[in-house]
Amino acid sequence: MEYRVLGRTGVKVSPLVLGTANFADPTPEDEAKKILFRAVDSGINMIDTGNSYANGESERILGRALKETELRKSVLIATKVFPPTGPGPNDRGNSRLHIMQACEDSLERLQTDYIDIYFIHRFDPETHQEETLAALDDLVRSGKVRYVACSTHPAWRVMEALAISDRRGYARYCCEQPPYNLLDRRIENELVPLCLDHGLGLFPWSPIAQGVLAGRYSEAGVFPEGSR
C-alpha cells in the first residue's frame, strides 16, 4: 500500500479510506467486522465513521471490533459531529455545548480514549465559527482529539475557519471531506485550489456517486436488492 501525507500533519494515510456509514444499517455486525478486518489486512489504515450513522450503532460496531483485536493503534479513526443525536434543541449543531457532549458520547461508543480526526460534519449557520473552533481546540489540548477537520463546507467557510484558527492560535483544520466524483466536480473550482494553497488534505466522499458510476442502476426506476 502506498501511503500519502495528510495535509501538513506528517501523518501517513492510505489513499483508500473505509467508510462505515452502512455498518448496522443495512450491513449486520458480523459482516461489517469482516469488511473492517479485510480492509485493514489490505493496508487501509483510516476508518471513517460518524456519530449519526445508524444512530450511533456504526461507532459501536467499530468500537467493539477494535476492542476485540489489537488494531486501535494501527488505524486512524475519524468521526463526526453536527447532525441531531437526540430530541432536544441542543442535541445538534456546532455549539460548544453539543460538541463537548457529542465527543464524550463518541469516545464511549468507540471504546477509545481519543479520536484521531474529528470532523465538523456540516457548517452550522446558527453558530459562529469562532465558538466551534475554540471548542475543537480545547478537545485537542485535552488529548481527546488529535486533529480536527471539516466536511462539505463551502470553500469560503473553510478559508474563514483557517483565518480564525491562525489568528487565535487554535488547532487548524487538517483536511476537508467534500462530495466528489465524475458527476459532481464542483470542488475543482475553489475548494481544491484552496486546499493546495493552504496545505489541507482532501477526503472525497461518494466517489462513485452512491453506486451510479459503478453501473449499479442500469434502468430508470429499477433498483437492485439492497439499494438505499
Catalytic residue annotation: 53
Other CB atoms closer than 10 Å to residue 138's CB: what's the count? 17
Q: Which segments within 46-184 are labelled E, that is strand?
A: 46-48, 76-81, 115-120, 145-151, 173-177
Of 130, 129, 121, the residue nearest 83 (C-alpha): 121
Give Cβ neighbours of residue 48 (< 8 Å, ≥ 6 apart). Answer: 17, 18, 19, 20, 78, 79, 177, 203
Contact 10, 52 (CB under 8 A): no
Helix (H) or strand (E) holding 202, with range, is strand 201-202
Helix axes 129-142, 96-110, angle to 10 degrees: 40
Consecutive H or E run containing 132 = helix 129-142
> Smallest Cα–Cα separation from 134: which of 108, 164, 109, 155?
164
Query: Which residues are CB-contacts of 143 (< 8 A; sequence separation ≥ 6)?
Result: 113, 114
CA distance linking residue 96 with residue 212, whole number of Å: 38
